[in-house]
């Protein structure tokens, strides 16, 4: 239906908005994400009755996947973050009632992992693992 139910709010490092976005991050993300070249907040349109729309979240997820692929094609890295204070982010953005903040994305060039410390460094250096197909395919043959 070409509704494009997502909206991106972009803040470049060094701006007040980037600082405000950084303050609305939670936990682990608050330690490293403020050094990202850009932070993007993804907001999603609500249904007419004000409820969340699963379809709109799915469409927004596809747009973020393509944003991620394009960033990589440009030699950039992206990291999606669910660890945000959505209410605080909505205040920062003065989000209209028909939108809800979903996630944030850090975008920039990959830095040296050794600049991190403690659990952040361990997490960055840990091997990447994925579930086996047998764990994610519920019906049918993987």
Domains and CATH numbers, the chain: 6-112 (3.40.109.10)
pLDDT of 32 reads 84
pLDDT of 142 reads 66
Cα–Cα distance measured from residue 31 to residue 74, given in angstroms and rounded to the nearest whole number: 25
pTM over 0.75, yes/no? yes
pLDDT tens per residue across span 64-110: 999 999 999 999 999 999 999 999 999 999 999 999 999 999 999 98
Sign for the pseudo-dihedral over CA of 130, 40, 56, 1: negative
DSSP string for residues in 8-38: EEEEETTSHHHHHHHHTB-HHHHHHGGGSSE
The mean pLDDT of 57-67, rounded to a whole number, is: 96
Q: Taking a C-beta distance cutoff of 8 angstroms, is the pair 18, 74 a contact?
A: no
């Amino acid at each position: 239906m070409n509704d494009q139910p997502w909206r991106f709010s972009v803040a470049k490092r060094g701006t007040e908005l980037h600082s405000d976005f950084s303050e609305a991050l939670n936990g682990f993300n608050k330690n490293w994400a403020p050094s990202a070249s850009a932070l993007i907040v993804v907001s999603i349109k609500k249904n007419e009755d004000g409820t969340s729309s699963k379809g709109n979240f799915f469409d927004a997820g596809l747009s973020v996947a393509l944003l991620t692929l394009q960033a990589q094609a440009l030699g950039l890295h992206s990291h999606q973050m669910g660890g945000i204070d959505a209410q605080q982010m909505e205040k920062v953005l003065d989000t209209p009632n028909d939108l809800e903040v979903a996630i944030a994305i850090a975008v920039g060039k990959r830095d040296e992992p050794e600049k991190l410390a403690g659990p952040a460094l361990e997490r960055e250096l840990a091997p990447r693992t994925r579930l086996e197909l047998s764990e994610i395919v519920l019906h049918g043959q993987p």
